[in-house]
Structure 1
Amino acid sequence: MGLLAWTSVVIAVIALLAWYLSYTAARLDRLHTKVEGSVSSLDAQLVRRAEVVREVAGSGALDPASAALLADAASASLEAADVATLGGGVRADGIGADRAQTESTLTQVLCTTLSTDVVAELRDENDGWPEIVEHLRSAGQRVQIARRFHNEAVRDVRRLRQRPQVRFLGLAGHTPLPITVEFDDRLPDGL
C-alpha cells in the first residue's frame, strides 16, 4: 500500500471519528433540551393539579375541615410554583427538593380527605361531583405521566454522559448532571 492510500485511510478514520463525536455532542444537547422541556411540562401539570384541588376545596361538597386542608395544600403548591418561576432557569434537580416535599404533602392531603367512602358519598349527593372527580383524576394522571417522562429523560442523559468518550472529552461542557424528581404522586383510592 502506498503513501497516498495510507493517508486516505487516516483521513477517513479521522473524519469518521469527528462525525461520531459531533453526533454524540448533538445528541447530548438534544437530550438536555428534552430534560428542560420535561421540567417545564411537569411544572405546568403540578400547577394544573393544584388549581383543580383548589376548585375541589371551593366546591362546597366537602366538609369545612377537609376543604380547608385541601385549600391550604393547594395554595402551598401554587406558592412553590411561583417561587420556582421567579427563580428562573431550569434546575439540575428538576423542581427542587422543597417543592417535591410540598407536592408530596398535597398528595397525602388528597389521599386523606378523599377516601373511597367520602368520594362514594359525594357522588351520590352532588350532581356536579363526577365531573370534578374526573378533572382531579385527569390532573393527577397527567402529573404522574409528566414525572415519569422527566425521569426517563434524565436517565437517558445520565446514560449518555456515563460513556467514557463523553466524560473524557468533556462533551457535556459545564451543564450540571440532572437528577430525577421523586415525590408522592399517587391518586387517592376513591378516585
Structure 2
Amino acid sequence: MTLSGLTVAVIALVLLLVVLAAGWAFQTANRLDRLNVRVDLARQALDAALARRAVVARAIAAGMVAGYDDDLIAAGQDLAAAADQAEHAPPSGREQAENRVSSLLARTDTQSRPQGLVVELADAETRIMMARRFYNDAVRDTRNLAERRLVRWLHLGGTAEPPQFFEIIERVTPGSNP
C-alpha cells in the first residue's frame, strides 16, 4: 500500500495540529499551576500581615486593660478577644472577624496610645492593604484563566475549587461602623 502525497500532507497537518494543541494545553496547565502557587504565597503573606495586626491590637488592648476606667477595660478585653477570634477564625468567617477587629480598633482612643503602637498599627494596616491587593490580584488572574471554556472542558485546572477573593474594610474611621 502506498500513500499519496496528499495523504501524507494531511496526516502531517493533523499531527502538527495535535502537537500544537498538546503544547498549548501543557503551557496553560503550567501557567495555571504557577498562578495557584502565587495565590498560595499571597495568602500566606496576607495571613502574616493579619497576624501582625492582631499582635498590635492585643498590645493596644493590654494598655487599655491596665487603666482604671471600667468602660476602657471592657473595650480592651473586647479588642483582645476579637483579635484572638480573628486569628483562629475559619476561612469562611475570617473576613467578618477581621472587620470586627478593624471596627474595635477604630473605636479606641488614638491619642492615649504610645507613639510606638501608633506607628506599628499604621504599618500593619498598610501591609494588610498591600497584601490583600496582591492576593486579590492573584485570585483574579487565576480565576480568569481557570474560567476559560477550553480550560474547563479539558480540566486543566484539576478539580480544585477556584480561590476566593478576600474583602475587608481597609481603614475604618472612628465614625464609621462596618
User: Partner residue of 1:111?
Assistant: 106
Query: Letter of the aligned partner of 2:88 in structure 1?
Result: D
Shift of 1:166: 0.6
Alignment of 1:143-182 (within 5 A): 143-182=128-167
Gaps of 5+ in 1: 85-94, 124-128
User: Partner residue of 2:25?
Assistant: 21
Shift of 1:28: 0.8
Judged with a 3 Å threshold, the aligned counterparts in structure 2 of structure 1 residues 15 and 24 are, in CA distance, closer, same or farther, namely same
User: Partner residue of 2:10?
Assistant: 6
1:58 aligns to what SS in structure 2? helix
Alignment of 1:4-153 (within 5 A): 4-59=8-63, 64=69, 65-66=71-72, 68-82=74-88, 84=90, 95-96=91-92, 98-114=93-109, 118-119=110-111, 122=112, 129-153=114-138
Shift of 1:181: 1.1
Gaps of 5+ in 2: none
Judged with a 3 Å threshold, the aligned counterparts in structure 2 of structure 1 residues 165 and 70 are, in CA distance, closer, same or farther, namely farther
Aligned length: 168
Shift of 1:36: 1.7
Runs of 4+ in 1 over 6 A off after TM superposition: none
Contact map agreement 2:49 2:128 (CA 8 A) in 1? yes
TM-score (norm 2): 0.81
TM-score (norm 1): 0.76
Judged with a 3 Å threshold, the aligned counterparts in structure 2 of structure 1 residues 67 and 25 are, in CA distance, closer, same or farther, namely farther
Judged with a 3 Å threshold, the aligned counterparts in structure 2 of structure 1 residues 181 and 83 are, in CA distance, closer, same or farther, namely closer
Judged with a 3 Å threshold, the aligned counterparts in structure 2 of structure 1 residues 44 and 62 are, in CA distance, closer, same or farther, namely farther
Larger Rg, first or second structure (1 or 2)? 2
Contact map agreement 2:54 2:87 (CA 8 A) in 1? no
Shift of 1:187: 5.1
Judged with a 3 Å threshold, the aligned counterparts in structure 2 of structure 1 residues 56 and 80 are, in CA distance, closer, same or farther, namely closer
Judged with a 3 Å threshold, the aligned counterparts in structure 2 of structure 1 residues 172 and 152 are, in CA distance, closer, same or farther, namely same
1:82 and 1:167 map into 2 onto residues whose CA distance is 34
2:122 aligns to what SS in structure 1? helix
